[in-house]
Amino acid sequence: MKTASERYAALVRLVESRTVTRATPALLLPAGPYFDLAGEEFGRNLLLTTTNNGVEYCLRPDFTLPIAQQYLEDGMIGVPSAYTYLGPIFRQQHSTPVEYEQAGLELLGQPDADNALDQVLTFARWALAIYDITAPQVRLGGVGLFEAFLEAAEIPPAWRSRIRHRFGHPEALQRLMERLANPEQRVDAPAPDSRDTVIEIVTDAMLSGGLSLIGSRTPEEIADRYLEKQALESAPIPPETVELLQNYLSVAESTSSAFERISEMCKEAGFDFDEPLYQVRNHAAALAALSPNADVIFDASFSPRLDYYTGIVFEMTGADGEVLASGGEYDRMLERLGAGEPIKASGCALWVDRLEREAGQ
Amino acid sequence: MSTLPGGLTLAIPSKGRLEELTRKSFSTARMNIARPGGARSYVGSIKNQPQVTVRFYPAAEIARELILGGVDIGVTGSDLIHEASENGEENVLFVRGLGFGEANVVVAIPDSWIDVQQMTDLADVASDFRSRHGRWLRVATKYVNLTRRHFAKYGIAEYRIVESAGATESAPAAGSADLIVDITSTGSTLAANQLRVLEDGLIMKSEANLIVSRTADWTPLRKAQLEALLSIMGGVPPGISTLL
C-alpha cells in the first residue's frame, strides 16, 4: 500500500520524465491575458490584486496560459514541444479563495495531432494509475466533429455559426433548438429593405445618438446582420434537419454504439459521416486499449465552454463523480494569444487533491 | 458588540432621498430616528428603543455589512445585496420591501442596433465581435456580479466588463463601452442617451428593503429584541427570527 507522499513522489517522477520539460510559471501573473483569452465567465474565478496604478494581477489560476505564452515569447512556433507542470493554482468559488494542486501536460506544435492526443490520454491514464484509479468514467466529446456535422447536414452557414457558438452551453443551445423547432411565423413580414437604405437609417440613428461610426459596431455590420436575420426568419431550417440535430446532440452512450447511432442517423438523412467519425473512433479505441476497465462514453453535446477548443475533448471522473482529469485539443488557443494562425495543441489538467481523495478511499 | 448581552445595530442609508424615505418609514411606525450630529454624524438612535444603535452608511456598504454580519438589520436596495457578493442573498433575509427606491437593473444597447432585440441577438453579436474588431464586446456597469450572472445564463462568455462608477449611460457615446447594464427607474435617462432596453434585458427589479443579516451573531436575547422591533415596524409576520 503506497502512502500519499509516495504517490506524490511518483507524480513528480511522471512530470519530470526525460521526454518532457517541466515548466514553472510565476505564481503572480498579469490578469489581462486571462480575461482576453477566456472572458468574464472565467475571470470571475480569479483571485485579483491591483497595483497602485490600477494594473490587475492574479494568483496563477492555471498553467496552460502562461506556458503557451512563454512558448510564443521564446519564438518556438514550429518547434514541437512537450511541457509538464505540477504545483498550486488559485481560484475563488462562491467568493471563497481555494488553493488546488494541479498537474498536467501541454503538447504544443506537434506535427502528428492524433499521436499527440493519444500521448495526452496516456499521460492522464498513468497519472490516474499512480492513484490506483484504473476504472475511471471517461467522457469524450467532439468539437471538431460537431462542426463537421453541421456542415455535412447542410445547415446554412449563418445558422451554423449561431449553433456552434452555443455548443457547450446546454441551456443556451436548448433555447436555440426550441427557436429552430418553432420558427416565428411573421405574418407582417416587411418587404426586404435595400442594404443601402438600412445602412443609411442606422447611420442616422448612430449619429443622432452621438455614437462613433468606427469605434464599435459599424452601420454596415448592423445592417448586414439585420438583413441576415430577416433572411433567416424567412428561410428556417427544415424540421427534419432540426430533428437530426437534436438526435445528434442527444447521443451519450458507450462509444461503439454512439458512433454506430450517429453513422446510422446520418445515412438515413442521406449523407455519409463515417470519415469524420473515423478519427474519434480511433482515439476511443486507443483509450480502450490503454484502460480496459474504463467506462468510456461519447457525449455528442459535451464541450468545454471555451471557444479555443477544436478537436476531441475529454473528461475523466472518479467514483464520487468529481472530474479528475480533463483536456483535449485546442488548436485555436495559440492563435488567440497572437500566433497569427491555429497551431496544433493538446493537453490535460489533473486535479491532484481529488486524485488523492480517490486513492485514500 | 458581541460582548454585550444584547442590543441591535440598525444600518440606515447615510444621505439623500434614500435616507429621507427610510427615516420616514420608521417614523410612520412611531420610531423616530435621531441623528444628533446631523449629516456629518454616523451614529444615531431611536427614541424609546435604547437597545437599538443606528449607524449611517452608504447604501452599498450596508449591503456588504449585512452579508458579513457587521450589522444586524439594515435598509438598502435589493440590487446591492445581489451585487455585493456572488452568494449575497444566502447571507441575508429580506424581511419586506419598503415601497420606495424602486428601480430595475437592465441591459441596454444603442437604439441604432436595429438587429438586436433580445439576449440571443446579443449572444450572436458577442460571439464574432472579437474577430471583427480585434477586441471583446465591452459592457459598462457597476453591477459586475449581476452582469456576469445574467450573461452566463444566456451563454454569453465573449465580453469584457468595464467598471463604471457613475454616468454609465454615457459610456457608449464616449466610446468606452458598447452597451451597458445599469439601474433605471423611469427609463428617461436611457432614452435621453438613445439607449434601448432589450426585450428580455431585465436582470432584476429592485426596491429598498428591510433586511436582516443571517451571519450576525444571533443570541436568543437578540432574536427576541429583533422580533420586538419588527413587530413595531409592522407588516412582518412574527417568527422571522426562527429562520436565522
Q: Do A209 and B110 touch (CB under 8 A)?
A: yes
pLDDT of residue B39: 78
Which sequence spans correspond to the domains of chain A?
Answer: 1-116+350-361, 195-234
Whether residues B124 and A179 touch (CB distance < 8 A) is answered with no
Q: Determine the average pLDDT of the residues in B178-197.
A: 93
Is the pLDDT assigned to residue A251 strictly greater than 90? yes
pLDDT tens by residue, B50-106: 999 999 999 999 999 999 999 999 999 999 999 988 888 899 999 999 999 999 999
For chain A, what is the mean pLDDT?
A: 91
Residue A283 C-beta-side C-alpha neighbours within 13 Å: 28
Give residues with Cβ within 8 angstroms of A313, minimum separation 6: A140, A141, A142, A143, A302, A303, A304, A326, A327, A328, A329
Which pLDDT score is estimated for A44?
A: 86
A215 close contact with B: CB closer than 8 A: yes
Order across the sheet with B33-34: list the strands.
B33-34, B43-46, B52-57, B8-13, B73-77, B208-213, B92-97
Contact at CB, A210 and B194, closer than 8 angstroms:
yes
More confident call, A339 vs B213: B213
- Domains and their CATH numbers in chain B: 8-102+207-243 (3.40.190.10), 103-206 (3.40.190.10)
Amino acid sitting at position A239:
P
- Nearest CB neighbour to B112, from listed A35, A209, A307: A209
Mean per-residue pLDDT for A187-193?
A: 59
- What is the average pLDDT across A256-277? 95
Confidence at B144, pLDDT banded by 50, 70, 90:
very high
Least confident stretch, A244-253, B158-167, B170-179: B158-167
Q: Which of residues 305-334 of A touch B (CB under 8 A)?
A: 305-307
Give the burial class of A344: count Cβ atoms within 10 A of its Cβ; 0-12 exposed, 13-18 middle, 19 or more buried. Answer: buried
Contact list in A for residue B172 (CB cut-off 8 A) is 209, 211, 216
- Tell me, what's the pLDDT at B3? 47
* CA distance linking residue A279 with residue A296, whole number of Å: 16
Contact A209 B160 (CB under 8 A): no
Looking at the DSSP bridge assignments, the partners of residue B222 are none
The answer to whether the Cβ–Cβ distance between B115 and A226 falls below 8 Å is: yes
A-B C-beta contacts closer than 8 Å: 110
DSSP calls for B208-225: EEEEEESSS---HHHHHH
Q: A111: pLDDT confidence band, cut at 50, 70 and 90?
A: very high
CA of A176 vs chain B CAs: smallest distance (Å):
8
Q: Where are the alpha helices (DSSP H) in A28-142?
A: 32-43, 64-73, 113-130
Contacts of B178 in chain A (CB under 8 A): 216-217
Q: pLDDT tens-digit profile of A14-24?
A: 999 999 999 99
Residue A243 scores a pLDDT above 70 = yes
**Grid cell for residue A77:** 512556433
**Distance of alpha carbon A213 from the chain centroid:** 34
Q: Looking at this protein, which amino acid is placed at residue B211?
A: I
Smallest CA–CA distance from B136 into chain A, residue: A36
* Cβ neighbours of B114 in A, within 8 Å: 198, 201-202, 205, 222, 226
- How would residue A116 be classed by pLDDT, with cut points 50, 70 and 90? very high
Over 60: is that where the pLDDT of B4 sits? no
B175/A206 CB distance under 8 A = no
What confidence tens digit (pLDDT) does each residue in B114-128 have? 999 999 999 989 988
Whole-angstrom distance, CA of residue A310 vs CA of residue A279: 13
Q: How far apart are CA A4 and CA A12, in angstroms?
A: 12
Q: Which residues of B touch A166 (CB under 8 A)?
A: 123, 155
**How near does any CA of chain A get to the CA of B243, in Å?**
22
- Given a cut of 80, is residue B27 above it in pLDDT? yes
pLDDT exceeds 60 at position A12? yes
| pLDDT > 60? residue A250 | yes
In angstroms, what CA-CA distances link A230 with A173, A224, A267, B198, B199? 21, 10, 32, 18, 18
pLDDT band at residue A168, thresholds of 50, 70 and 90? Answer: confident
Q: Which residue of A has its CA nearest to B177?
A: A216
Q: Do B114 and A198 touch (CB under 8 A)?
A: yes
CB of B159 closer than 8 Å to CB of A40: yes
Q: How far is B189 from chain A (nearest CA, A)?
A: 13
The answer to whether A74 touches A311, Cβ cutoff 8 Å, is no
Residues of B in contact with A44 (CB under 8 A): 86, 145, 148
User: With the CA atoms of A62, A98, A57 and B150 taken in that order, what torsion angle do they form, in degrees rounded to the nearest 10?
Assistant: 90
Q: What is the pLDDT of residue A360?
A: 78
Residues from chain B that touch A215, judged by Cβ atoms under 8 A, are 175
Residue B70 C-alpha, separation from nearest chain A C-alpha, in angstroms: 17
Residue of B87, B151, B173 lying closest to A209 (CB–CB): B173
Whole-structure pTM value: 0.80
Nearest Cα residue to B71 out of B45, B58, B53: B53
Contacts of A226 in chain B (CB under 8 A): 114-115
Task: Report residue A277 as a C-alpha cell.
Answer: 467519425
Q: Is A176 on the interface with B (CB under 8 A)?
A: yes
pLDDT for B117: 95
pLDDT band at A184 (very low <50, low <70, confident <90, very high): low
Q: Identify all chain A residues contacting B173, using CB atoms and an 8 Å cutoff.
A: 209-211
CA atoms within 13 A on the CB side of A320: 8
Per-residue pLDDT of A37-72, as tens digits, reads 888 878 889 999 999 988 999 999 999 999 999 999
How confident is the model over A156-161, as a mean pLDDT? 84
CATH entry, A1-116+350-361, from 3.30.930.10, 2.60.40.1260, 3.40.50.300, 3.40.720.10: 3.30.930.10
- Cα–Cα distance measured from residue A90 to residue A101, given in angstroms and rounded to the nearest whole number: 9
Nearest Cα to Cα of residue A25 among A115, A89, A80? A89
Summarised one tens digit per residue, pLDDT across range A169-181 is: 888 888 888 888 8
Cα B150 → chain centroid:
16
DSSP one-letter code for B90 = G
Please tell me the distance in Å from B51's CA to the nearest CA on chain A: 33
Q: What is the pLDDT of residue A334?
A: 93
Unique residue bearing C-alpha cell 457578493: B85
The rounded percent of chain A whose pLDDT value lies above 70 is 97
For residue B96, what pLDDT is reported?
92
The reply to whether residue A225 touches residue B125, judged by beta carbons under 8 angstroms, is: yes
Looking at the predicted structure, is the pLDDT value of residue A185 above 60?
A: no
Please report the sign of the dihedral spanned by the C-alpha atoms of residue B140, residue B145, residue B149, residue B152.
positive
What is the band of A325 on the pLDDT scale with cuts at 50, 70, 90? very high
Cα A228 from Cα A241, distance rounded (Å): 20
**DSSP state letter for A46:** -
